[in-house]
Structure 1
């Protein structure tokens, strides 16, 4: 005999909403986690996309915006009852605002074992350069200065 818990239904509803499930296991959107790192070469964005097929990925770069779209399908099997569906399914869209010092025309994308890595290089105008400064008509030691982009 199961003990009555008045908060059980509320807790189950909250868990379903956290997982993106609505109603009778209808799938909603989900948002995968992302790490963003920067170094002298540019930005590196890493998204966890387990269970996403590579052909469902769509990556667009336009107007200082980088957008990643994909779908993780839920395969419901006839004759099987789902007692728990905790993994996120559905479509997602993540949009990132990329500063103009990065070149969105040269984005590289690698998808390996459910991890999508996007590399956005710095633009040529934002690269560090060595500039020779003349003093009294003579060249001095080259100094590295950061160009403003």
Structure 2
């Protein structure tokens, strides 16, 4: 028996991985960079209502959850539906060197920007050395 396969099936599966499906939205793309004493993280969330964004930090795990819904309008027929809808989520493991107590977040033009300062305890610091008297330097034998 000759098995026929759809030559576009693999292409469709690959596209679903990057763009998602209605049941499983695509991954939330992220960039991160360090600029001096600040760590910046950028999440692409186009078309997301800012009120749907949930940002939490527990221990050293930063969690972002957001939802994008398709507007339902009476009398409007959907012709093409490719943009992923639903709940998007992403978790990042943060290093101990970041001060999550002073984390700042802003959402503008479809990008969630998170700024986290580097912890003071993680910054290099100079240690003063005091010279003791000769008695302290002697080793009893």
- Report the TM-score when normalising by structure 2: 0.74
Q: What pairs up with 1:1-149 in 2 under 5 angstroms? A: 7=6, 10=9, 13-14=12-13, 17-18=16-17, 19-21=19-21, 26-133=22-129
Q: Is residue 102–residue 120 contact of structure 1 (8 Å, CA) maintained in 2?
A: yes
* Cα 1:100–1:11 shift into 2, 3 Å: closer
Q: Is residue 64–residue 98 contact of structure 1 (8 Å, CA) maintained in 2?
A: yes
Higher CA-based Rg: 2
Q: Which runs of no fewer than 5 residues in structure 1 stay unpaired?
A: 1-5, 138-149
Coordinate RMSD, CA, aligned: 2.7
Q: Give the strand-richer structure, 1 or 2.
A: 1
* Cα 1:8–1:115 shift into 2, 3 Å: same
Alpha-carbon separation, structure 1, partners of 2:29 and 2:102:
23
- Report the TM-score when normalising by structure 1: 0.71
